[in-house]
Amino acid sequence: MRVVETMTPPRGAMAPPMRPVPDPRGTTGVPACRQARTPIVPRGSGTGLIGGAMAPRGGVMVSTTRMNRILEIDIANRSATVEPGLINLWLSHAVHERGYFFAPDPSSQMVSSIGGNVSTNAGGPHCLKYGITTNHVLGLQLVTGAGELVWLGGKTLDRPGYDLTGVAVGAEGTFGLVTAITVRLLHEPEAVKTALASFASMEAAAEAVSAIIAAGMTPAALEMLDDIMIRAVNAGSGADFPAAAGAVLLIELDGPRAETEAQAERAAAICRERGALEVRVARDDAERALLWKGRKEAAGAVGRLAPTYLLQDAVVPRSKLPLIMREMAAIAARHQVLIANVFHAGDGNLHPLICFDDRVPAELARAKAANEELLQACIALGGTVTGEHGVGFDKAKNLPLQYADVDLNFMYRLRRLFDPDGLMNPDKLLPAHPACGEGFRPARPELPAGVWI
């Protein structure tokens, strides 16, 4: 890993940091693929959960794993420029000694790449307070599907023109290959307090979540696990979550020491008022790390419950959490499936894990049916089809649940500006029209019938 230090702001701070960034056009092969009309599928670490880095119609898969250098750390401007294959956590490790960190923290952060995080606009436990990946990307270098090398954004805020960085974050490889990224670095908080509150039921825990937010606090993280997940985690991680609880809330507050301590006491008091069975505050870093170990290993721990799981990623407004929990229990009973839950409760971002045995076809069918019904239930409560994992191959078919044809058509036209030949990660993010695969019949009444855009 090569680190270029810039301790003073560079001259002409409006200019993107072109100097240390190599020109990748010759190596991406985009022009050659265009000539051969061959699809290109970008791939980071391959931890995506929506089939985004799969190549269902073949083509060239461009892996970024060896583009893993930190190109520049610029403490004076609180930014870093990195190659896309850099593992998320490596950046925080590289700046930790100077008291800084990179805030987006998907639970996969020890293995997923920053390029993948940018392309899926990843979230994570601490995004409740710090925001999602897009809030931390200042600029990026992109080789578009047309083979052009462009810099979007840069180190300074509020650059003139369109916010194309914002448009490109979350594009899931459909605009081109992200070849360098300038991200924000944040100063580490003075103090961190982490507590675990246990409740008799998911509904009680969900009500405590709403009450904590309504009290004016913004915890750094507010994560929930249900009783099924508690059993799975306790069996393997040594986290020792209260075994008899119906749900636990992992609450983390950070900031100036005095404020953090006062808020931690207030949050604990709210949990007790809402019927918490127990509130356990981590006394030191080791206890805090153990609580987080339980949370971060939760998805893997489900392997103790069933050989396979189907992971849903949908959102409901926070206030609707108690309602969706009841609905989820009904769906599980109707389809005779076991559903374990671990999720970002503060954001209303659910991650039900539907457990099944893929060697039994009937179980797979029931898991899929429960999964689709869950998604419909979230939409009916005012939610969205994906929270943080993206759309990819898996959820492209679900986008019409949330967008009108006219909205989808607009997105199609935007995609074509970056990728005129439709070669960049085809079949991902936007659904193909069943009739022609070329966009949607416009819903605008003023357009003549039968016109396709």
Ligand X SMILES: Cc1cc2nc3c(=O)[nH]c(=O)nc-3n(C[C@H](O)[C@H](O)[C@H](O)COP(=O)(O)OP(=O)(O)OC[C@H]3O[C@@H](n4cnc5c(N)ncnc54)[C@H](O)[C@@H]3O)c2cc1C
Footprint of ligand X (CB under 6 A): 41-49, 52-53, 64, 84, 106-108, 112-113, 115-117, 119-120, 122-124, 172-173, 177-178, 299, 388-389, 392, 425, 428
CB atoms within 10 A of CB 238: 11
- Residue 34 backbone phi and psi in degrees, to 5: -65, -45
Q: What is residue 411's three-state secondary structure?
A: helix
Smaller CB distance to ligand X: residue 106 or 383?
106
Residue written as token pair 């076991």? 338
Q: Which two tokens stand for residue 147?
A: 């083979």
Smaller CB distance to ligand X: residue 320 or 344?
344
Q: Which two tokens stand for residue 357?
A: 């045995």
Smaller CB distance to ligand X: residue 124 or 219?
124
- Residue 331 backbone phi and psi in degrees, to 5: -65, -45
Smaller CB distance to ligand X: residue 263 or 384?
384
Provide CB contacts within 8 A for 426, sequence distance 6+. Answer: 39, 57, 59
User: What residue type is assigned to position 51 of the chain?
Assistant: G
Alpha carbons 124 and 335: distance in angstroms, whole number: 30
Smaller CB distance to ligand X: residue 223 or 327?
223
In the complex, the smallest distance separating the C-beta of residue 106 from ligand X, rounded to whole angstroms, is 3
Rounded to whole angstroms, what are the CA distances from 253 to 196, 275, 288?
A: 12, 21, 12
Smaller CB distance to ligand X: residue 46 or 317?
46
Alpha carbons 382 and 384: distance in angstroms, whole number: 7
Rounded to whole angstroms, what are the CA distances from 288 to 170, 242, 251, 269, 276?
A: 32, 15, 11, 20, 20
Smaller CB distance to ligand X: residue 118 or 267?
118
Question: Which residue's CB atom is positioned nearest to ligand X?
Answer: 116
Alpha helices for 177-320 (secondary structure H)? 202-214, 227-236, 257-273, 285-296, 298-301
In the complex, the smallest distance separating the C-beta of residue 261 from ligand X, rounded to whole angstroms, is 28
- Residue 115 backbone phi and psi in degrees, to 5: -60, -40
In the complex, the smallest distance separating the C-beta of residue 24 from ligand X, rounded to whole angstroms, is 10
CB atoms within 10 A of CB 93: 11
Smaller CB distance to ligand X: residue 173 or 383?
173
Smaller CB distance to ligand X: residue 52 or 242?
52
In the complex, the smallest distance separating the C-beta of residue 105 from ligand X, rounded to whole angstroms, is 7
Alpha carbons 209 and 430: distance in angstroms, whole number: 34
CB 80 within 8 A of CB 88: no
In the complex, the smallest distance separating the C-beta of residue 425 from ligand X, rounded to whole angstroms, is 5
Smaller CB distance to ligand X: residue 115 or 154?
115
In the complex, the smallest distance separating the C-beta of residue 169 from ligand X, rounded to whole angstroms, is 11
In the complex, the smallest distance separating the C-beta of residue 301 from ligand X, rounded to whole angstroms, is 11
Smaller CB distance to ligand X: residue 251 or 270?
251
Alpha carbons 160 and 422: distance in angstroms, whole number: 29
In the complex, the smallest distance separating the C-beta of residue 443 from ligand X, rounded to whole angstroms, is 27
Residue 183 carries which DSSP code? E
Provide the CA 348 distance to its chain's centre, in angstroms.
13
In the complex, the smallest distance separating the C-beta of residue 299 from ligand X, rounded to whole angstroms, is 5
In the complex, the smallest distance separating the C-beta of residue 112 from ligand X, rounded to whole angstroms, is 4
Residue 344 carries which DSSP code? E
CB 225 within 8 A of CB 351: no
In the complex, the smallest distance separating the C-beta of residue 253 from ligand X, rounded to whole angstroms, is 20
